[in-house]
Structure 1
Amino acid sequence: MMDKIEDHESRHSSTSLKSVDNADNQTSAQRVPPPETPEAIQTRFRVIAAFWAVIIFLGFPIWWKTTSIYRAHLPIQEMTEWSEGKICRPVFPLEIQIAAPALQLTESQHLVRTTQHALDDLNEFAAHHLRLKLANATDLSDSGGPVLGGQNTGDGPDTALTVRVLSEDGLSSPRSELHAETTQLDIFYPPSQVPVPSSSNPALSVFIAEELQRLYSEEKATIAYILSGGTSGPDAESISRRLRRSMKYADTYHLSFSLFTPGAAPTSWDIEAAVQEYLAPLLFAFTPISNFTIDTQVQMYATFSPMAPPPVFDEVESAWTLKKEDLSAFINAAEWPLNPSIGNGPTLNFVLYVPDPSQSPMVVKENRASSWIIPQWGGVFLLNPPLETTDSSGSRTNPAHLSQDSLRPAFMTFSHQLLTLLGTPATPSSLPLRLQSLIRVRAAALLLSASSTMGSLARLTESLPSIPIPATVAASVAKTLSQLSATCSHLREGRFGAALASARIAESEAERSFFEKSMVGQVYFPDEHKVAVYLPLLGPVGVPLIVGLMKEVKRLVAAWKARRLSKA
């Protein structure tokens, strides 16, 4: 009986073990996927390859074409060399004609030669060189040259100055006389000082050289200051102060003349006649440098700014006075209709202020001046016209109308202020010579400014490879470099009017290329922004494609290794 029970238990245990083994086999069979058929493998491979083929041969080229940035070719090396001053070193050879009608030809030639030697010994700035030339009779005119002093319209150099050497009895030493309206300098010498061919350093030659050196001393100092970048020169501080007061060069300036009064009079002025009489000749003389547009206005009841200190009556001077430190607050910009800029060019404001009769006359306390300049803005003139008695009570008021003669002091002052604001040198006394100096100074400044802009553009395009460079920028750069070369060539040959014209074009094209709108917009779009845009779009699509590609690569590598092992 016991044997039967044990046998039954053993059979039962065997049956239980078989059931467990069968369950495990079924679970394993369910976990292991069935082997893929070759057709399925080929289908999966083709699907993945098709996706990647569309991405590589269609999607990527379309993306590259639609997102690529056009960058026109720029001569970076040449632009950098211009900014570093390696291509052009500006020189200013001034041609000065010497006329000595009382001397023999050999004596005149000897005078020119010895004067040139004396000039070379005095000159410490090699870039600015005075070249003397013996003038022919046909080169001279009775007036000594036009207003701008012999600006040449041909291919020859401009004549900067004509020196007439004249004999005069009764002199003990030479003297000079500069014509204020022309570019002619007269040198008078005693007959006893006629230079003889045997003398190597005649007194007359030394005198002429010193006079010429003095005439162009301020121009030389200014050009040396500009070429050195404002770091050298004995008068660097005064030159810097003068240049800071002047306006930046422009092809066209807008002149705004305003009549302001705190009361009801005056209500009109002869502004057109005053401009034509006192200002038009000066503006015409500036034609080779800049053009001008003019507008005028009359504003009554124009009161002082509440923040400005009021004038104080000075019993000693018997006048109402303004302190020098309070002049900056004189213009009531909040209420006076003064436009900061009208049209394309910068605006120069000239304010004629007629004080109220109760505060007339009005002057500046420290120097009793009636005018002052506001740097890079304009000028102010305090006009104190004779008061008129209106009735029997004796009340006095300003005249209702300002005549042309009463405007003369104001407009003569405005003329001087305009010259200062445009950067005209203060010396010499001849206006045509000062305008000639301004042409050379402006040409030098524009040449350096355009060259510096080219260097900045070259550094910008190299440091930011993601910004576009349109074809218009390349064209402007090419034109700028061409005009810079022309400017340098004109300066070297002494054609300063043509040099200024070329430098003006170079500066304009350089500014246009540097401030191209499409380039400026891309400067502030860094690469991190692109990653932030593309990652959310390409991440969900790219991950399955990359994982599928990796699996296919692993399968192909495993199949290749298996074939090698089977062959081995």
Structure 2
Amino acid sequence: MEGPKVSYRCNVRQYFNEEMLTYKEATTLSSFDDALEELKLLKENGKYTFVLIPEGEVVDPGDRGYIGRHRSAFLRSSKDLASLVSKISGVMREIFAAEKVIAKAWNTAVGAVHQQADKDSMRALQSQPNGYEITFTLLNPQPSHVRASWNIQEATKRYLSPLLSALHDYTNIKVKSQYLHSTNIGVRPKVDQVGGYALNIDQLPHIINPIEAFLGSHVSNNPNLNFILYIPLRDQSPLFIYNQNGEKVASNAFLSPRWGGFLVHNVRVEENASLPVDVQIDERPVMQVFAAQLRLLLGVSPLHHGLAVEEAPAGNAVITDWELDLWLRSHCLENLASSVATLNSLAQLLEKIGNIVINDDIGREVERAVEQIQISHTALSQGQLRDAYLSSRQAKQFSEKAFFDPSLLELLYFPEDQKFAIYIPLFLPIGIPVVMSVLQSLKYLRKKNKQKME
């Protein structure tokens, strides 16, 4: 299947007076980027600005260039137009549009076979029209020794609300929290060389299963992402996670693809301390780790472009504006590819099983899906990224609703070749006496006709 085609439209202009005023007042490229965003001259998804700055200025981007947190790139102006155009093209295609990323998203959605393992696509959740659920769990196996508490509601508001607000118009994310006591990870750590305890990389997959049954993530039909803060047992503390090279993991955490994250939080308990020890969790380093893991699980992965350009970190925003555009673009293509594949599967199913009756409700869902696919295509071609994504999300909902309609599922397990296996045991015992009676009647009639002729 042919991949997505990307086209660009560009124009060149002089600066506006408001932009020049902010430029003169800026002391750093970051502050200049934020000031341009406040002007609200360009806030549409999928539209970007390249600002060319002369060499030697206060906010000189240098030879490398600078990618802001919003939708602007800052490059040093040059008389070598060919080199400048090449750099602009590289930033546009490799970072803002990320053609390789969206091509990968399309190929993954249509079922193309990758030449090599793709960690990013295997790690991130697929696009979900109904949204996601996030559960933060404080796992304390020894509440009799450590009485831990955290203000997860305030921490979520402070450190994750920018990300949740950015995605609010495009997906529904519900956040929950819970305490889980007297439940251990079920893995025996090994003693390390410095007197602590170690969890090796081969032990990490066995940590999830013993605790998953207690997390309650099965109560929802939506995908659930679990983020666990684990306080080790007193006789297994301090506990550290080691990577495949035998080195300590700096974050003391690991990520489970499409499931969530796990963070070990060591608590120091003195020998003669009165038990239980009250511990107030410092949420800031914890949420920094969980926010980084959440980015990866939602598909906001670092770009491997190889360009010598500086990128502004997302900071407290968790996700930059151009990363949000990339997320919308790749998930839009994923939704469209999934919708088309679902409708094609439905058509093939109808050709294979001819006795399926399509009722009016299914027909309307198919028509709505096709309509939303066409609307999304049109919006994409016009650069209306937000509208394109919302239409693609509806297309996926309508196509899946049509394919999984209960009236179709009833007939999927009753094909033509199984009718004989069902009906023969019912009618064969009745049919044999009937056939024998018919044969006896025919013999009698023939014999009677023969006697009359004689």
Q: Percent identity?
A: 22
Give the equivalent residue in structure 1 for 2:141.
Answer: 262
Aligned amino acid, residue 527 of structure 1? K
Q: Tell me how far 1:94 sits from its aligned partner.
A: 5.3
> Is 2:55–2:62's contact at 8 Å kept on the other side of the alignment?
no
Does residue 442 (structure 1) correspond to residue 318 (structure 2)? The answer is no
Cα distance 1:420–1:480, how it changes in 2: closer, same or farther (>3 A)?
A: same
Task: State the number of aligned residues.
Answer: 404
Cα distance in 2 between the residues matched to 1:456 and 1:256: 34
- Residue 542 of structure 1: how far off its partner (Å): 8.0
Q: Following the alignment from structure 1 to structure 2, what is the Cα–Cα distance between the partners of residues 401 and 498?
A: 47
Query: Is the CA contact (8 Å cut-off) linking 2:101 and 2:330 kept in structure 1?
Result: yes
| Matched letter for residue 149 of structure 2 | S
Q: Following superposition of structure 1 onto structure 2, how do residues 12-411 of structure 1 map, counting pairs within 5 Å?
A: 90-93=4-7, 100-101=14-15, 142-144=35-37, 150-151=43-44, 158-169=45-56, 174-180=63-69, 182-189=70-77, 193-194=78-79, 201-216=81-96, 219-228=98-107, 229=110, 231=112, 237=116, 240-250=118-128, 251-264=130-143, 265-305=146-186, 308=187, 310-316=188-194, 318-333=195-210, 337-365=214-242, 366-369=246-249, 370-385=252-267, 387=268, 389=270, 394-395=272-273, 399-403=277-281, 406-411=282-287
Counterpart amino acid of residue 127 in structure 2: Y
For the residue of structure 2 that corresponds to 1:325, the secondary structure is coil
Q: Distance in 2 between matches of 1:500 and 1:550?
A: 76
**Normalized against structure 2, the TM-score is what?**
0.77
SS in 2 for 1:237: coil
Deviations, residues 520-551 of structure 1 (Å, cap 9, x unaligned)? 22222233134554555667668878998999
Answer yes or no: is the 8 Å Cα contact 1:267–1:298 preserved in 2.
no
Query: In structure 1, what is the equivalent of residue 20 of structure 2?
Result: none
Counterpart amino acid of residue 212 in structure 1: M
Amino acid of the residue matched to residue 288 of structure 2? Answer: M
Q: Counterpart amino acid of 2:55?
A: E
Partner of 1:412: 288
Q: Post-superposition shift, 1:90?
A: 4.1
CA distance change for structure 1 residues 372 and 550 in 2, over 3 Å: closer, same or farther? farther
Query: Would the alpha carbon gap of residues 257 and 99 (structure 1) be closer, same or farther in structure 2, given more than 3 Å must change?
Result: farther
Deviation (angstroms), 1:232: 7.5
SS in 2 for 1:363: strand
**From 387, 391, 399, the counterpart of 1:502:** 391
Q: Is the 8 A contact 2:105 2:331 kept in 1?
A: no
Equivalent position amino acid for 1:186 in 2 = F
Cα distance, 1:518 vs. partner? 2.0
Looking at structure 2, the residues matched to 354 and 480 of structure 1 have their Cα atoms a distance apart, in angstroms, of 48
Shift of 1:457: 0.8
In structure 2, relative to structure 1, the CA distance for the partners of 1:539 and 1:145 (3 Å cut) is farther
Structure 2 matches for 1:495-534, cutoff 5 A? Answer: 495-525=384-414, 526-528=418-420, 529-534=422-427
Within 2, Cα distance between the matches of 1:397 and 1:336? 29
Kindly tell me: are residues 261 and 398 of structure 1, through their superposed partners in 2, closer, same or farther at Cα, counting changes over 3 Å?
same
- Give, in whole Å, the separation in 2 of the partners of 1:172 and 1:145: 20
Match of 2:360 in 1: 471
CA 1:549/1:419 → structure 2, altered by over 3 Å: closer, same or farther? Answer: farther
SS of 2:217's equivalent in the other structure is: coil
CA distance in 2, matches of 1:172, 1:345: 44
**Residues 165 and 188, structure 1, Cα contact 8 Å, conserved in 2:** yes
Deviation at 1:482, TM superposition (A): 1.1
Q: Distance in 2 between matches of 1:472 and 1:463?
A: 21
Write the distance in 1 (CA, Å) between the matches of 2:407 and 2:428: 25
8 A contact 2:137–2:229 mirrored in 1: yes
Match for 1:299: what amino acid? L
Counterpart for residue 423 of structure 1: 299
CA contact (8 A) 1:99 1:165 kept: no
Contact 2:50/2:75 (<8 A) preserved: yes
Q: CA RMSD in A?
A: 3.6
Rounded to whole Å, the distance in 2 between the matches of 1:342 and 1:283 is 22
1-side partners of 2:39 and 2:148: how far apart?
40
Structure 2 Cα separation of the partners of residues 397 and 312 of structure 1: 26
Could you say if the C-alpha distance between residues 144 and 469 of structure 1 is closer, same or farther in structure 2, counting changes exceeding 3 Å? same
Which has the larger Rg?
1
Evaluate the alpha carbon distance shift between residue 287 and residue 334 of structure 1 in structure 2; reply closer, same or farther with a 3 A threshold: closer
The whole-number CA distance in structure 2 between the counterparts of 1:522 and 1:172 is 64
**Aligned positions of 1:554-565 closer than 5 A:** none
Q: Is the 8 A contact 1:224 1:232 kept in 2?
A: no
Counterparts of 2:212 and 2:353, CA distance in 1: 46
Q: Distance in 2 between matches of 1:473 and 1:453?
A: 13
Asked whether the equivalents of residues 61 and 75 of structure 2 are also in contact (C-alpha less than 8 Å), the reply is no
The residue type equivalent to 2:292 in the other structure is H
Match for 1:242: what amino acid? D
The verdict on how the C-alpha distance between 1:518 and 1:207 changes in structure 2, with shifts beyond 3 A counting, is closer
The letter for the 2-side match of 1:328 is P
- CA deviations on 1:207-233 (whole Å, 9 max, x unpaired) are 33333344247x311222344456588
Deviation at 1:335, TM superposition (A): 7.6
* Residue identity matched to 2:119: R
What is the alpha-carbon distance in structure 1 between the residues aligned to residue 91 and residue 284 of structure 2?
34
The offset of 1:143, in angstroms, is 3.6
State the 1:277 CA deviation: 0.7
How far apart are 1:188 and its partner, in Å? Answer: 2.9
CA deviation after TM superposition for structure 1 residue 476, in Å = 1.2
- In structure 1, distance between residues paired with 2:119 and 2:61: 41
